Amino acid sequence: MTAATHYVYLKFQSYSGNIQQNTIPLRATGVSVSVSKTIPAFPVPLSGIATGESITAALDLGMATKNITINGVIVDDFITKVFDGTVTTRKFTAHEIAQMIAAGVDSTGLAKNQAFSELVVLIPSFVASDYNYRGTCSVSSHKNKTDCEAAGATWTPTITDNSERLDGFNIPLMFGSRGDALKLDNARVPIPLTSFPDVETETGITGFVRSFGFDMNADTFEITFNLEFESANIFP
């Protein structure tokens, strides 16, 4: 598939569907993902007397904390914003972009042109949301084999068992699973919170920037940075 110009984006609250507008592209050199399960657990008193070994009881309440840490560099780049319907594109220095991100982290969700609400990390994918290999449909609005054939259209597989990594389709990293409600990986899940993506323009990880740091060095114009993003549903 055609390589993207950038693979990591921060979306402003004002983002409205065009990945080139109201976003900040990041040149990431490393992305770390951490999922920490929260399970109340306690040792069972006297359990070792009868069984010969102690027992710990745990209650899985479906709680977890999900964090994404990004390291990379910021360089001079073009950023496009939309103000009251007017599209404005300007070239910013790396220092200005770093300052813009820092200001956005310092703001609140009410400042829609400052605050960030979503992180997009594009990853290569061979398998679509219906567990079939990815391909193309004669009706372009359908992005997996099941939906395509249900509409009476023709599905042409692009991915096979012999496909190379560069043949993969770009999709946003997220924490959803494949399948509709009560199907495939979502068996026994009546109301999936998110749908597994089939195109790169679908929603990534919503939440907030937990921390952002950057370094300005005298011997280069590039700005090194580190950013921690936490998955969450933000209110209001």
Q: How far is 133 from 144, CA to CA, in rounded Å?
A: 8
Q: Between 233 and 67, whose confidence is greater?
A: 67
Amino acid at 148: C
Confidence of residue 64 (pLDDT cuts 50, 70, 90): very high
Q: Between 228 and 1, whose confidence is greater?
A: 228
Residue written as tokens 């096979």? 160
Q: What is the pLDDT of residue 224?
A: 95
Element (H, E) at 103: helix 94-106
Q: What is the pLDDT of residue 3?
A: 43
As a whole number, mean pLDDT of residues 96-123 equals 93
The encoded tokens of residue 144 equal: 């997996």
Q: Closest by alpha carbon to 68, among 20, 34, 112? A: 34
Read off the pLDDT of residues 6-48 as tens digits, 9 standing for 90 and up: 799 999 999 988 889 999 999 999 999 999 998 888 888 877 7
Do residues 182 and 151 lie in contact, with contact meaning Cβ atoms separated by under 8 Å? no
Confidence of residue 126 (pLDDT cuts 50, 70, 90): very high
What integer best gives the mean pLDDT of the chain?
92
- Answer whether residue 157 shows pLDDT above 90: yes
Q: How far is 217 from 103, CA to CA, in rounded Å?
A: 20
Q: How far is 64 from 193, CA to CA, in rounded Å?
A: 14
3-state secondary structure 18-60: CCCCCEEEEEEEEEEEEEEEECCEEECCCHHHHHCCCCEEECC
Confidence of residue 236 (pLDDT cuts 50, 70, 90): low
Q: What is the pLDDT of residue 47?
A: 76
Element (H, E) at 67: strand 63-74
Confidence of residue 2 (pLDDT cuts 50, 70, 90): very low
The encoded tokens of residue 67 equal: 């964090």
As a whole number, mean pLDDT of residues 167-193 equals 94
Facing residues of 172 across strands?
122
Residue 123 phi/psi, 5-degree rounding, is -130, 155
As a whole number, mean pLDDT of residues 139-162 equals 95
